[in-house]
Structure 1
Amino acid sequence: MSTCATVSRQLDEPVSATAPTATTWLLLEQSGPWGAEALTSSHLDPALGRALERAAQGTGVRVALIRRPGRHADFHAPAARHVYAAHTVPGGAWLHGALTTAPERLLDLDFHALGGGDHRTFDTALGGRPHTGDPLALVCTNGRRDRCCALLGRPLAAELAASGVRGVWESTHLGGHRFSPTLLILPYGYAYGRAEARTVKEALRGVREGRVVLDGCRGRTAWQRPAQAAELAVREATGEYRADALTVTRADALGADGDTPRWEVTVSHTDGHQWHVVVAQGAALPPRPESCGAAVLGGPSRMDVVSVRELALS
């Protein structure tokens, strides 16, 4: 039986506008195995995992577990765990890191402030400071969530680490198993699908140069899916690759055209130029497995760019 990633690739399903959404990512190092719902089914205290889920709900913060590529036995667990927070909104993106021996201290964070881009709560609660090393490359390897993430993600993470790429971590669920291997690059928060080592290295080089690599890009996690589609469409149309040159300033629902929801999204450039982008939600056909564990075939939604119109400068 074909995996969901194999079927998606055979059908040439677009990866654009399929990124998970979070204005801020909060990452906690946790060695050992991960279950399908990793915060409550790993060797992290499940009570702490549930409390973190509740604290993050509705704040724009997404919590994920990370571990170094390689063997996952708990005897590799460090005494002090890495913790990262990354805010992904253009013009205010940052990445801070800390070490902690008490992961329960994450509950001291003001999650609403963190989701809004205020790093002071992270620095105060955990002794955090700006991350000065290489950008982070998170490869989803959560095979209990979907086997494609283990079959395709773990070899990619191992290859990157073995070739000397720094900042590589395995991570829990990043969404879109059928696009495995899936990847998240921080601090900008661009997600990638069907990632290969060469494209990951190019994406990381791009971050160091302040630009976005569009090959395999699923979108910026700061935005909801219609805005992800609009931003990527403007980049394709204009050749603007600087990461913080574009931002989404409005996203208005236009109502449905028949059964098709539509949005008008305003994408703004730092130089004052603006574009109106119309995005329509459709279904990916023919039906396909949205994950390897799905009992029935589905028609996952897709975001189709209907038009891109540059506005006259006022």
Structure 2
Amino acid sequence: MVGTAPHGRVWVLVEYRGGWPPDGFDGLDLEPRTKALLFSAARQARARVLLVRRHGRRTPGGPGRWAVLRYEDSGAYRQQWGTWSRDEDLAQIVDALGAPGELGRPPVVLVCAHGQHDTCCAVRGRPVGRALSERWPSLVWECTHVGGDRFAANVVVVPDGVYYGGLDASSSVAAVEEHLAGRVHAEHLRGYTDLFPPQQTAVAAVLARFGPAGRHDYAIAGTTRDGDHWRIRVTGRPPRATDLEVGVRAFRAPPHQLTCRGRAMSSAVVHEVVSVRSARTANPPEAGGPRTD
């Protein structure tokens, strides 16, 4: 499961209380020009567009909400929220994608419950959505497909960009409670969306070895690749382990069913930790050896 968080820094949320098409926002029957504008702006910003709703779906009438959430290189989290009643109102999102957004808002907790995309997401996601909504009603939204159906129930904290998987009602409350307290645990962690799979795997290995830490307590200082092997240098803020090198190996798992709905057998890439050691004792790359990406 570790190393499977899709890469991304910008999220667009659109509250939609009706039934969700299998392909989410793409399948909505919206005013064509507005939909095309939003789709083009999101693609340019490399933003992921998700439909969201409160648990239970059937909420009182009135305008729906939308949001643009952004994770910056500095680690700052920015959000901009608005409302919509007519399809044309969603054009506001285009302007929001070009604006900086506000600092200081609490994070948003997304639970994938997209049953039309894959049955697992509904069967496993909705009990998690219920449990989290009862605990944090203002923070939690159910959402469309976030990737990794086989890891359902999936929870994504945005704009933190942290994916958790393999959750149930009890473990999801514990994971989110710890996350909101500034402690990310390796258990159930799929990865950070600003990192690539081997880097996600390295950070998770450090958390597993040295204990939970804040979202920004560890940083990637270097990445070296030699074929299907990676060496990831991870630095930590005191009192964390300060300079580590994590060895990671990538390989394809035997073909198996990757989703509840999909009948085809597929082979997924798995990232395995082979070593965690002090970077001071690690051997430097040999001349003509691994390259730095």
Return the TM-score normalized by structure 2.
0.82
Q: 1:108 to 1:310 in 2, by over 3 A?
A: same
Give the distance between the partners of 2:105 and 2:96, measured in 1 at CA: 22
Aligned AA (1:307) = S
Aligned AA (1:79) = P
Matches within 5 A, 1:31-110: 31-45=17-31, 48-57=34-43, 59-72=45-58, 76=60, 78-87=62-71, 92-101=75-84, 102-110=89-97
Cα displacement string for residues 125-149 of structure 1 (whole angstroms, at most 9, x for unaligned residues): xxxx34544x322110111211111
Please state how far the C-alpha of 1:49 moved relative to its aligned partner: 4.3
Matches within 5 A, 1:1-314: 15-45=1-31, 48-57=34-43, 59-72=45-58, 76=60, 78-87=62-71, 92-101=75-84, 102-110=89-97, 121-123=99-101, 129-130=102-103, 132-133=105-106, 135-162=107-134, 165-255=137-227, 261-271=228-238, 273-285=242-254, 287-312=255-280
Q: 1:228 to 1:50 in 2, by over 3 A?
A: farther
Cα displacement string for residues 108-133 of structure 1 (whole angstroms, at most 9, x for unaligned residues): 2456xxxxxxxxx143xxxxx34544
Report if aligned partners of 2:108, 2:141 keep a CA contact under 8 Å in 1.
yes
Greater relative contact order structure (CA < 8 Å, 6+ sep): 1
Report if aligned partners of 1:266, 1:275 keep a CA contact under 8 Å in 2.
yes
What's the secondary structure of 1:154's corresponding residue?
helix
Q: 1:60 to 1:164 in 2, by over 3 A?
A: closer
What's the secondary structure of 1:205's corresponding residue?
helix
Q: Runs of 5+ in structure 1 lacking a partner?
A: 1-14, 112-120, 124-128, 256-260
What's the secondary structure of 2:179's corresponding residue?
helix
User: Comparing 167-176 with 192-201, which one deviates more in the overlay?
Assistant: 192-201
Report if aligned partners of 1:31, 1:76 keep a CA contact under 8 Å in 2.
no
Please state how far the C-alpha of 1:269 moved relative to its aligned partner: 1.5
Give the distance between the partners of 1:242 and 1:192, measured in 2 at CA: 15
User: Comparing 35-44 with 217-226, which one deviates more in the overlay?
Assistant: 35-44
What's the secondary structure of 2:157's corresponding residue?
strand
The equivalent of 1:10 in structure 2 is none
Aligned AA (1:273) = T
Report if aligned partners of 2:69, 2:158 keep a CA contact under 8 Å in 1.
no
What's the secondary structure of 1:69's corresponding residue?
coil
Give the distance between the partners of 1:267 and 1:97, measured in 2 at CA: 32
**% identity of equivalent residues:** 28
Q: 1:208 to 1:158 in 2, by over 3 A?
A: closer
What's the secondary structure of 2:235's corresponding residue?
strand
Report if aligned partners of 1:233, 1:305 keep a CA contact under 8 Å in 2.
yes
Cα displacement string for residues 26-47 of structure 1 (whole angstroms, at most 9, x for unaligned residues): 2222221111221221355465
Give the distance between the partners of 2:36 and 2:258, measured in 1 at CA: 26
What's the secondary structure of 1:33's corresponding residue?
coil
Report if aligned partners of 1:136, 1:186 keep a CA contact under 8 Å in 2.
yes
What's the secondary structure of 2:177's corresponding residue?
helix
Report if aligned partners of 1:52, 1:107 keep a CA contact under 8 Å in 2.
yes
Please state how far the C-alpha of 1:246 moved relative to its aligned partner: 0.5
Aligned AA (2:226) = L
Aligned AA (1:178) = R
Give the distance between the partners of 1:151 and 1:45, measured in 2 at CA: 32
What's the secondary structure of 2:27's corresponding residue?
coil
Report if aligned partners of 1:32, 1:43 keep a CA contact under 8 Å in 2.
no
Give the distance between the partners of 2:46 and 2:275, measured in 1 at CA: 29
Q: 1:197 to 1:279 in 2, by over 3 A?
A: same
Return the TM-score normalized by structure 1.
0.77
Give the distance between the partners of 2:249 and 2:46, measured in 1 at CA: 24
Give the distance between the partners of 2:234 and 2:34, measured in 1 at CA: 39
Please state how far the C-alpha of 1:95 moved relative to its aligned partner: 4.2
Q: 1:270 to 1:192 in 2, by over 3 A?
A: same
Give the distance between the partners of 2:260 and 2:36, measured in 1 at CA: 26
Report if aligned partners of 1:69, 1:170 keep a CA contact under 8 Å in 2.
yes
